[in-house]
Structures are given as structure tokens and as C-alpha cells.
């Protein structure tokens, strides 16, 4: 082997892992069945929706949830100190439909992240046998709850997370999101989620459905009250409590804009970019950045090398990563064109994460949704474990 190619050994191993993990991960991500066997009786489902200043999306998204054909439904809308008119929309929806319960949070207690506290209040107000924790901007097709509850009851699942359709935004945002989704699929090791002997778990604000009896066996939201990645930590908490977990793909029934522009995505990562990159530790963030830059951007750098062998090797690795991203995009029905430049998407995400690290360190904490959270408190409140 040409000695110069030794520089590409680690990126090549990483590219091979991408192929392997994507193949196994997508195989372990079944589509939510369209016509599962219905249970003999329908348990009550409480959909808990935290909302702070969601005037642009909450009414339309809530009405999509109210169009559900599920026969035993409750929707708990938790207005979390909104100042933009969200409170009025919540009250109006509750007045219009008896299935809607309005909960208003006027004061955020010390030591809590706002969203986590809102979820805790919503869970306390909910009366369902199943609790679905879902963000305010998620649109749900009418048959999704019936399908997922049927599967969960039949297979005796306690906790379900789902992969939605990510609606397209600007080109730059779509390029960055193509990398993010690949990183999610590759890093999640989805084939281990259903294994009760594995600690691997999933969770997301898009759709966390939990059997109430399983939820009550955990420490609840009090345990993750200062965890920035609260939705992922919730899934981990359920797995650690011995709940039977599953994950499905549902691009035909769940949808959202995960930010519409590159600027919105950059600002959205201010809260948890540092946590994702370095678990709120600057040394770990630096190591993660350097390693990620090496394996993601290294093949692109190799193309600029005067050595022909490095050029060919770098091009081959880029082709592999393009193949992986396009494969994922085809499966999840996201734009194929934006999936074709993985190095660009990776660079954008890395820069946004570095921005989050620098801002958090400089400020000494995180400003989010009208509240400042000191870095020391966030470190103490961190619950998410990286395996």
C-alpha cells in the first residue's frame, strides 16, 4: 500500500462503518404497519404537547392531531409562559373540543428547563393509559395513533419512538440536515434498541410514546429536569427501567419542519450543540471536533493533495459517504440533491456546534427561551450517557 494512503486509514474505517451501520440501522427501522390488528378495547391516549411561543404552528399542528381517528383521545396542551398569543390559542382549542385540556405554566421553578417542566406538568394532568410526548409543531396523520397503539399492544411494547418525514427547507438547511440524519442513523445503532440486554436506546421530541405503567416505574421528568437533550435522555431512562422499547419509521404519518433555514438551524443548536459535541466539557468537545473533521472533511482535503493516490482515495471515500446519504434520503423521502454533498453538510454542522461551545463557554451557560442556565448547573444535571 502507498505510504501516503495511511493518512486515510481512519476515514476509510469510518466510511466502512457508515455503510455497515446504515444497512443494519435501516433494516432495524421498520415502517409503522398500515393495518395492524386492533386491540379488543382501545386504551386512552393522552397527547402531551409543551408549547412556548408557538403561535406560528400550534393551532394547525393541534388540529392535525384532533383529526385523529383514534377513539379514546385526550390532548394536553401545556402553555409554558408564552407571550405571543399561544395562551389564547390553547384556551380557544380547549373551549372548542372537550378532548383538549389546557394547562398554563406561569412560573418556572428554579432548577428546571422550561420544556422539561412543561412535560412534567402535562404528564401530571394527563389521564391516559398511554402518554405521548410530542412537540407542538409536529403534524400527525389521522391513523397514526391507531396504528402505533395497535402494534404496541400486540407486541407488548412499553415505549415507542418514531422517525418522521422532515419537510424540506432552504438548500443550505437541507444539506446540513442530510448530514445530521446520517449521523443519527449511523450513531444510534438502531438494531440494538429492541435488545433488552443492550443499553442502546432512542428518543425524540418528535414522538415519545410510553405506557403509563412503565413511565411510573421511572424517576420521571424530575430525573432529567436539567438535561439539555431531554427527549433522548427520556428514551434512555425508559430503556434503563427495563421497558420494552421499539422504533419505527413513519414518514407517511408524521411530519415537521426541523427549522426551515440555515440560520434557524444554527440558532436552534445553541442550546444543545455543546452537549452533543462534548457533553459540556471543552476538552471533549475539542477532541470530538478534531476527530469528526478528520473523518468527514479529510477525504475532501485529500482531493487537493498533489499525490494522485490521495486524490483517488479521497474521491472514493466521498463517493461512499454520498452513497450512504442518498440511500438514507431515498428511504426517508428527503431531497436527494442535498444528500449529495456530505462534507459540506458535516462542515456546517461542525461549525454550528463549535459556535454553541464558544457561546456557552463565553456566557458561562445557556440562554434559552427567556431563561439563563449556568454551565455548572447543567453539568450537574446532565443525565444522558454516551455508550
Query: Domains in the chain and their CATH numbers?
Result: 3-25+263-379 (no CATH), 30-174+187-261 (3.90.550.10)
Grid-cell match 455503510, residue found: 19
Mean pLDDT across 133-150: 93
Helices 282-303/342-363 angle, 10° precision: 150
| Residue 50, strand partner residues | 78
- Grid cell of 1 as nine digits: 500500500
Work out the pLDDT band at 3, boundaries 50, 70, 90.
low
The string of pLDDT tens digits covering residues 89-124 is: 999 999 999 999 999 999 999 999 999 999 999 999
Three-state secondary structure call for residue 250: coil
pLDDT digits (tens, 9 = 90+) for 5-32: 788 999 999 999 999 999 999 999 999 9
| 165 contacts 331 by C-beta, under 8 angstroms | no
Chain Cα centroid distance, residue 324: 20
Question: Are the C-beta atoms of 87 and 16 separated by less than 8 Å?
Answer: no
Among candidates 184, 238, 183, which has minimal Cα distance to 208? Answer: 238
Q: What is the pLDDT of residues 68-91, one digit of tens each?
A: 999 999 999 999 998 989 999 999
Phi, psi of 53 (to 5 degrees): 55, 55
Amino acid at each position: 500500500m502507498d505510504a501516503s494512503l495511511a493518512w486515510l486509514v481512519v476515514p476509510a474505517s469510518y466510511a466502512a462503518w457508515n455503510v455497515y451501520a446504515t444497512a443494519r440501522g435501516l433494516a432495524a427501522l421498520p415502517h409503522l404497519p398500515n393495518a395492524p390488528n386492533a386491540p379488543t378495547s382501545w386504551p386512552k391516549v393522552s397527547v402531551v404537547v409543551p408549547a412556548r411561543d408557538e403561535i406560528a404552528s400550534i393551532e394547525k399542528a393541534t388540529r392535525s392531531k384532533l383529526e385523529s381517528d383514534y377513539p379514546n383521545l385526550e390532548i394536553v396542551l401545556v402553555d409554558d409562559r408564552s407571550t405571543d398569543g399561544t395562551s389564547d390559542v390553547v384556551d380557544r382549542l380547549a373551549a372548542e373540543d372537550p378532548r383538549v385540556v389546557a394547562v398554563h405554566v406561569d412560573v418556572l421553578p428554579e432548577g428546571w428547563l422550561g420544556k422539561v417542566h412543561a412535560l412534567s406538568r402535562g404528564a401530571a394532568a394527563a389521564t391516559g393509559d398511554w402518554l405521548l410526548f410530542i412537540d407542538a409543531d409536529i403534524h400527525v396523520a389521522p391513523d397514526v395513533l391507531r396504528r402505533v397503539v395497535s402494534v404496541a399492544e400486540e407486541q407488548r411494547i412499553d415505549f415507542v419512538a418514531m422517525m418522521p418525514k422532515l419537510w424540506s427547507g432552504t438548500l443550505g438547511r437541507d444539506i446540513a440536515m442530510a448530514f445530521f440524519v446520517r449521523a443519527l442513523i449511523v450513531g444510534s445503532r438502531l438494531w440494538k434498541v429492541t435488545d433488552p440486554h443492550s443499553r442502546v436506546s432512542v428518543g425524540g421530541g418528535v414522538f415519545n410514546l410510553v405506557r403509563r405503567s412503565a413511565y411510573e416505574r421511572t424517576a420521571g421528568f424530575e430525573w432529567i429536569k436539567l438535561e439539555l437533550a431531554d427527549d433522548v435522555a427520556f428514551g434512555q431512562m425508559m430503556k434503563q427501567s427495563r421497558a420494552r422499547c421499539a422504533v419505527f419509521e413513519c414518514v407517511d404519518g408524521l411530519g415537521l419542519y426541523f427549522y426551515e433555514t440555515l440560520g434557524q438551524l444554527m440558532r436552534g443548536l445553541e442550546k444543545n450543540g455543546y452537549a452533543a459535541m462534548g457533553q459540556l466539557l471543552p476538552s471533549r468537545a475539542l477532541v470530538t471536533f478534531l476527530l469528526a473533521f478528520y473523518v468527514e472533511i479529510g477525504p475532501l482535503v485529500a482531493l487537493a493533495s498533489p499525490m494522485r493516490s490521495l486524490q483517488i482515495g479521497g474521491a472514493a471515500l466521498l463517493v461512499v459517504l454520498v452513497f450512504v446519504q442518498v440511500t438514507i434520503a431515498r428511504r426517508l423521502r428527503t431531497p436527494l440533491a442535498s444528500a449529495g454533498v456530505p462534507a459540506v453538510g458535516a462542515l456546517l454542522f461542525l461549525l454550528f456546534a463549535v459556535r454553541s461551545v464558544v457561546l456557552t463557554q463565553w456566557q458561562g451557560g445557556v440562554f434559552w427561551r427567556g431563561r439563563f442556565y449556568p454551565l455548572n448547573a447543567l453539568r450537574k444535571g446532565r443525565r444522558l450517557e454516551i455508550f
